[in-house]
Amino acid sequence: MIPANPAPLAIALLGLLLGMRHATDPDHVIAVTTILSRERRLAVAARIGVVWGLGHTITVLIVGAAIIVFKIAIPARLGLAMEFAVAVVLILLGVSAAASLVRKGAHRMRGTSPQPDDLIVHAHAHTHDGATHVHQHVHVGDHADQDDATHLDHRIPPDALPLFAARRPLLRSFAVGLVHGLAGSAAIALLVLSAIPNPLWATLYLAIFCVGTVIGMGLITTAIATPFMVVSRRASWIHQGLVTGSGLLSFGFGLFLAYHIGIVDHLFSTAPIWIPQ
């Protein structure tokens, strides 16, 4: 079925809007909220949503296009297993938030600071075979007083953390988006194919749908992050409560999904029940 002249625009608009609507699914919102809750910059929070959408897009396009073009049938157990992976991710995100809270509590009990402000880099010069080179390592706080003439030290400013640490939320968001996309790809592709039997148009619609999801998640994360940013500047204890609450919500919702998929839908029984939706 190849649409008439006005139909392509309508299909593109519908795919864009439904993709943005798809970004508001509870498991999506809870996952990105847990990730961005610790961020204090709006631009970074928005990027977290966009990166999640990109990860989601990759798996939806690859798996979804394969289903549409090659008419691949997804077994019920595999479909449930992909959805169960989302539950596991939500639980892990919740555990990560709880672990962070426990670490901060332990630091407070010991009277130490978990912040990186007291990290000091020592650059030790060595000569081997006539060539001088430098070995760098990090000490905390008091070790600065032990330096001698051969040690060059300086404090690491808060905005000069290692590149990987700075990008960790983005990498985590991308990985979570991949899992969410994998879980939803089969259902999305089957729904698209049932409405648009032509593989070319169905794949194009799927791509537009994914663009809408990226845009929608970028807008959602910006909207969610705004109150987090405001609260973090005015009342840090409320912000910490929101971070903890988002982690507990992720953990609880993950457990609920795991129970529903594993027990109610019989993922681990001999007769799994999977209804793509």
- Angle subtended at Cα 203 by Cα 200 and Cα 205, rounded to the nearest 5 degrees: 110
Residue 14's pLDDT band (cuts 50, 70, 90): confident
> pTM of this prediction?
0.76
**pLDDT tens digits, residue range 87-96?**
999 999 998 8
- Residue 57 near residue 213 (C-beta atoms within 8 A): yes
What is the Cα–Cα distance from 155 to 1, expressed in whole angstroms? 65
- Do 31 and 180 touch, CB atoms closer than 8 A? yes
Is residue 153 within 8 Å of residue 122, measured between CB atoms?
yes
pLDDT one-digit tens code per residue, 203-219: 999 999 999 999 999 99
Token pair of 102 as six digits: 């426990």
Model pLDDT for residues 18-69, shown as the tens digit of each residue: 999 999 999 999 999 998 887 778 888 899 999 999 999 999 999 999 999 9
Tell me which of 264 and 102 has the higher pLDDT: 264
- Provide the residue type at 215 as one letter: I
**Which residues does 133 contact at the CB level (< 8 Å), separation at least 6?**
125, 126
Q: Inform me whether the pLDDT recorded for 119 exceeds 60.
A: no
Backbone angles phi, psi at 163, to 5 degrees: -60, -40
Q: Which of 144-148, 214-218, 265-269 has the lowest mean pLDDT?
A: 144-148
Instruction: Check: CB of residue 135 under 8 Å from CB of residue 126.
Output: yes
- pLDDT, tens digit, 9 for 90 and up, residues 219-259: 999 999 888 888 877 777 787 888 888 999 999 999 999 99
* Strand ranges, E, within the chain: 119-128, 131-140, 151-155
